[in-house]
Amino acid sequence: MQRGHHQNVPGKRAPVFRLRLLAWYDAHARDLPWRKNRDPYPVWVSEIMLQQTRVAAVIQHYDDFLRRFPTVEKLARARQSSVLAVWSGLGYYRRARMLHAAAKMIVRELHGKFPQTSGDWRELPGIGRYTCAAIASIACDEPIAVVDGNVERVLSRVSSRRLSEQQVWHAAEDLLDRERPGDFNQAMMELGATVCTPKAPACLLCPVVELCATRGDLPGETKALPQKKREIHYALDHHSENGRPARVFLLQRPRDASLMPGMWELPEISSPGDHAKPLFKVKHSITVTDYTVSVWSSSPSNHTAGKWIAVRQLPKLAMTGLARKILRKAGVTKSAGVR
């Protein structure tokens, strides 16, 4: 393993690196809702939401979630369907189930007291190496580094070396500011997300440019996987009363489906043919696939299963993000207030 102090990132200049990075973070940190305080509960919720999800999408859901479940006790007492309903649109619903299970453990087994160390956080469902370090450094001031894709990119570029996973964790640990570990970790991730970005790093704006051995793309850096493209078709049928949408026909995904089990969606159909015209199309991306979604007017007699659901029930229903998008676009639900 290549580890020795002469090879650390960025070696003797680590103290300068910390100072400059933290000064930049203090002045430029994005004003994100979960950065308002360091209570473990909101820090934990935000870290789980941020796993595999962009900051912009998390912002839309974070406040709703905390309004609905303001404490770990409220979350532990909630029904799973309510938790999934508020999570709807964030995707990766396993995270919501794990969060809910962990809340129950905290309340029942830890008597409502949050873990104090990264090791204890990691005992909870849904919390791995990255997340336990992120929460413990931010909420408990534990001097422990985090590594995500952003940190890995920054460290590789700063050192101008392709680092193995273990070397990245060591390098991050060596560089960590032990007085302000939570801020330092967030600053590294923020630098990667906003300045040292994958495609075009803004080196001219970078607070550590003088300490960086690459100042640009590292040659041969792996490029993001190309997005796959897929077309899918959904049937939309709804009834109105007094000129307002009253009921819509939806289908529940099987409870043992690997993707979004138990969530409600519109019935998927095969393409009605090249000559027919859909009501409208929407674009939707899930992980590495870009979907072109055609929505067709269709009556439930053609569907094998499903149920008429009252439109006023929809905000509380655990529905897929794509179904919500389609219903908004179709005017069945309103744009504001109903997700």
Active-site positions read 47
- Quick count: other Cβ atoms within 10 Å of Cβ 224? 8
Decide: is 215 part of the binding site for ligand SF4 (CB under 6 A).
yes
Residue 144 contacts residue 184 (beta carbons within 8 Å): no
Pick the closer one to ligand SF4 by CB: 212 or 318: 212
Pick the closer one to ligand SF4 by CB: 72 or 208: 208
When binding is defined by CB under 6 A, the residue of 48, 158, 293, 332 that contacts ligand SF4 is 158
Q: How far is the CB of 219 from ligand SF4 (least distance, A)?
A: 12
Decide: is 127 part of the binding site for ligand SF4 (CB under 6 A).
no
Number of chain residues interacting with ligand SF4 (CB under 6 A):
14
Pick the closer one to ligand SF4 by CB: 63 or 210: 210
Pick the closer one to ligand SF4 by CB: 199 or 244: 199
Q: How far is the CB of 9 from ligand SF4 (least distance, A)?
A: 10
Pick the closer one to ligand SF4 by CB: 220 or 226: 220
When binding is defined by CB under 6 A, the residue of 61, 100, 157, 180 that contacts ligand SF4 is 157
**C-alpha to C-alpha distances, 269 to 47, 216, 280, 293, 310, nearest whole angstrom:** 36, 47, 15, 11, 22
Backbone angles phi, psi at 170, to 5 degrees: -65, -45
Compute the distance between CA of residue 245 and CA of residue 242 in angstroms, rounded to an integer.
Answer: 8
Site mask for ligand SF4 (CB under 6 A), range 180-209, x = bound = ---------------xx----x-x--x-xx
91: left (phi over 0), alpha (psi -120 to 50) or beta: left
Is 182 in a helix, a strand, or coil?
helix
When binding is defined by CB under 6 A, the residue of 83, 135, 154, 189 that contacts ligand SF4 is 154
Q: How far is the CB of 213 from ligand SF4 (least distance, A)?
A: 8
Is 325 in a helix, a strand, or coil?
helix
**228 Cβ partners below 8 Å, 6+ apart?**
288, 289, 290
Compute the distance between CA of residue 169 and CA of residue 176 in angstroms, rounded to an integer.
Answer: 10
Sites of contact with ligand SF4 (CB under 6 A): 154, 157-158, 195-196, 201, 203, 206, 208-209, 212, 214-216
